[in-house]
Each structure stands twice: as C-alpha cells, then as structure tokens.
Structure 1
Amino acid sequence: MRIALLEDEHEQAQNIQTILSDNGHHCDSFPSGQAFLSAVLHRSYDLLILDWQIPDMTGIDVLEGVRAQLNWPIPVVFLTQRDSETDIVRALDAGADDYLSKPARPAELIARIHALARRSNPDNDKEVLHYGPFEINTQQRSITLHGDPLTLTDKDFDLTLFLFQNQGRLLTREMLLERVWGLARDINTRTVDTHMSRLRRRLGLNPENGFRIKTIYQRGYRLEAMKAADDILDTTPRAANE
C-alpha cells in the first residue's frame, strides 16, 4: 500500500516509516498539514495516518480538508498521544476510520491498516463484479458489456479492473505504472496514456454506458460514473494525447 503520514517529529516519523516498510508498504512522511494536504490532493495514496498536534494546524483540520476535497473515501487512521474518549469521539465523528495511541505498537498498527484495507475494498475477494452494464470476471479474466464479451489484452484487463475497483479516485500515471505494470515511477509515462486512449474505445466509455475516463490535467486519470449531460458541462483542460 502507498501510505501518507502526517508527523512533525522526525524520530517518530522514521520509526513509523520503518514499521510500514518492513511490512511491504511505501510511506511518504510530511511534517506539516499544508505539505500533507498538497501531497494527498495531487498524488495517489491508499491510506492516511494523521497526528493530531502539528505546527500549522490540527489533525482534525487536515482530516476535514481531506474529506471535503477528495471524492473517494480514503481510509484515515489517527496515531496520536491524545487518547481521551472525547478526542477519540471527535476524530471519528470528523471522518476518521480508526484511532490509535502513541507510541505505535508495530503488530497492532499493521493489523489495523490491513483491516481497513479489506473494509475499503470489499470487491477484491469477489469473483464476478458488476459496474453498470459492465461485468468483470476476475477468475476467467474476462469482461462483458451489455452481455457481449470484450476483446482485451492481459494488460488492458488488469488496467480496467484497477480503474473500476478505484472508481472516483485520482490515479496518477506513476501509481498506475507501479500497480498495473510493476514498473518504477521514473519510467516514461507515455505507456499509460497510450493504454488509456485505447481503453476509451475498447470499453465504450461514453454517456450511454455510464462511465468515462477523465484526464486530470498534469496529474493522471479518474474513472467516473456519469450521465449524458456531464460531458456538456465538462471544462477540464485536456491533455494533447486524449
């Protein structure tokens, strides 16, 4: 998983990053709320870990900013020294999914993160997934549209499945290269743009079929459910290759 950590104490941040890295997760750490919010809104993360007391704002302020500006329910965990019942209730009411007290206990932190990941992606264990007129069979690795089979390469299938499982979420080109192609982030991202252009045609992603791949200028892509009128109102700048 790709995890963003809000922690202003360097030693604490290093400790948490080590715990996560030792368990196969990638973690970017940020010492301020502004830096954290900027990263979360422009990059792709699977889960967020927040401290409460940071120099420029509170963890609650950051959480409220995340919930107001992200259009998908990313899992959020508070990891803080504040452990009163009032604080816990306040964080959960503001949109946190879990709450842990410092110091982090490695096994518990990893177990909570994995539990949240399972709850936030309940479709991952299903064999057949339905998204409007699309049916995806994860075992047979096949996709139908209105009951008609689509002809896709293996990589097109992997990309399509990842898009639908992350519907409504900004996916950067770098994240797609990592998750779908298994490539390092510094590889040329033209590969992603080429596949996205082809998928638009092969999947019939249009108002009649209820979905579109939207290009987020200089950032990446987002699969969106839509209505016929949405395209008329869409004024988002388009990349030259779209």
Structure 2
Amino acid sequence: MRIAVLDEDRCQADLICQVLDGASHICHPFANAKEMLSQLRRESYDMLIIHWQTPDISSVEILKMARERLTPTLPILFMTSHSSEDDIVAGLAAGADDYMIKPIRRGELVARVHALLRRAYPAQKTGETLQFGNYVFETRTNRLAMMGNAVELTQKEFDLALLLFRNIGRPLSRAYILEAVWSRDVEIPSRTMDTHVSRVRSKLQLRPENGYRLAPVYSYGYKLEQLTE
C-alpha cells in the first residue's frame, strides 16, 4: 500500500517509513502540510499518517480538506505527542480514523495500520481466490479466468489487472501504478505502461458493452469503472 506520512520531525517520519517499508508498504514522507496537500492533488495514496501538531496548516484543516477532496473511505491515522483527551477527541471528531501517542511502538504501528487498511479495502485480502463479477483471480498461481475461461496473461499483465479490479471506480495515478506493478526501483518507458493497459483492456474485454470501462484520466493515470452490476 502507498502511504503518505506528514511529520515536520524528519527523524520521526523516516522511522515511521522504515517500519512500514519493512511491512511491505511504500511510504512517502512530507515535512509540511502544503507540500503533502499539493502532492495529494496529483498522486494516489492508500492511507495518510499525520502528526497532530503541524506548523503551517492546522491538523483540523488538513483532515477537513482530505475528507472533502479525497476518497471518503481513505484511512487516516494521526499521531500526537500529548495524551490529552482534548487532542484525541478533536482529531477523531475532525475525521481521523485512529490515533497513536508518541513515542511510537513499532509493533503497534504496523498493527494499527493493517487494521485500518483491512477495514478500508476489504477486497485487498490475501486469500487464494478473488472474484469480481465474471472475473476470478487465483493469486497463488497468478491465473485469471473470465466466465470460466482461462485468460493468458503475463505476470505484469496479471498484476496490473488485479490492481485495477481491486480499485474499481478509483483513479490511479501513473506513479501509483508504476510502484505497485513495476516497483519504484525500476525505470520503464512511459509507453510500456500504456501498452500493458491496452493489452489488459483487450484480453479482459473491458468495454462498455461488457459493463466495464478502462479509460485514461487526463494528465493523471487510469481508472477502471464498473458500469453495470
């Protein structure tokens, strides 16, 4: 999962990212709210972790803007250096889903993050079989069947298709897709992603007449929509 971490204390932000990177997540640290909010307009994230005491914009305003502009179910965890009930109540009332009191404990951080992600993305389970309408993904064998018929896919095509179905209705930025499918350490030509999207659209017959639309989002990325039940 892709997680944005806001904390003006770079050492704390790096520690959080180190812990969550070790739990197979991809973290992006931000030192100020304006920088994070600007990035949120251009990129996709699965979760936000913010420090309650922010220097440039109040945490209440950050939460308010996140809830207004981003996916309503986006999980948000806030951290505070104070155990004051007022801070905790204010954060939860402003739209946060959970909180932690610093200093963070590594095991608790991972557990709370995973609990929020499971609640927000119930389709992101690790079972062998995932079904989305007529499409059945076998995650251990990396096989896909459409209406009972096997679909021949490369590994990257399978990963891309599964990512799109797990995020139906949600615009995914090119950077998000790149990190999720090709990993952030790999540089690929821009055309490679477009070619894979085109192949997935063709092989899975993701067309309006079949109830789906896989379309580019201008200057952003791609979105898979389910048009009918």
Verify same fold: TM over 0.5. Answer: yes
Whole-Å Cα distance in 2 between the matches of residues 20 and 133 of structure 1?
A: 34
Deviation for aligned residue 1:140: 4.9
Question: How far off its partner does 1:29 sit?
Answer: 1.9
- What per-residue deviation string (whole Å, max 9, x for no partner) do you get for residues 30-85 of structure 1? 22222111212322323210112212322222122222222362221101124333
My pick for the range that moved more, 130-139 or 105-114, is: 130-139
Structure 1 unaligned segments of length 5 or more: list them. Answer: 228-242
1:29 matched residue in structure 2: 29
Q: Please, what TM-score do these two structures have when normalized by structure 2?
A: 0.83
- In structure 2, do the counterparts of structure 1 residues 51 and 183 end up closer, same or farther at CA, with 3 Å as the change threshold? closer
2:98 pairs with 1:63: no
Q: Corresponding residue for 1:109? A: 109
CA separation in 2, counterparts of 1:216 and 1:185? Answer: 23
Which residue of 1 is the match for residue 8 of structure 2? 8
| Matched position secondary structure for 1:53 | coil
TM-score (norm 1): 0.79
CA spacing shift, 1:226–1:71, aligned 2, 3 Å? farther
Task: Please state how far the C-alpha of 1:100 moved relative to its aligned partner.
Answer: 0.6
Provide structure 2 residue ranges, at least 5 long, that are not aligned to the other structure: none
Q: Which has the higher contact order (CA 8 A, sep 6+)?
A: 2
1:101, distance to aligned residue in structure 2 (A): 1.2
- Contact residue 175 and residue 185 of structure 1 kept, 8 A: no
Match of 1:77 in 2: 77
**1:173 corresponds to which residue?**
174
Q: Does 1:220 align with 2:214?
A: no
Assess, with a 3 A threshold, how the Cα gap between structure 1 residues 145 and 15 changes in structure 2: closer, same or farther.
Answer: closer
Q: Which residue of 2 aligns with 1:238?
A: none
Aligned to 2:54: 54
Alignment deviations for residues 151-206 of structure 1 (CA, whole Å, 9 cap, x no partner)? 33333222111111122333233332332234625332321110111222222222
Pairwise CA distance, 1:99: 0.5
Give the direction of change, closer, same or farther, for the CA distance of 1:10–1:129 in structure 2 (3 Å limit).
Answer: closer
Q: Quick one: structure 1 residues 203 and 23, their matched pair in 2 at CA, closer, same or farther if it must change by over 3 Å?
A: closer
Paired AA for residue 212 in structure 2: F
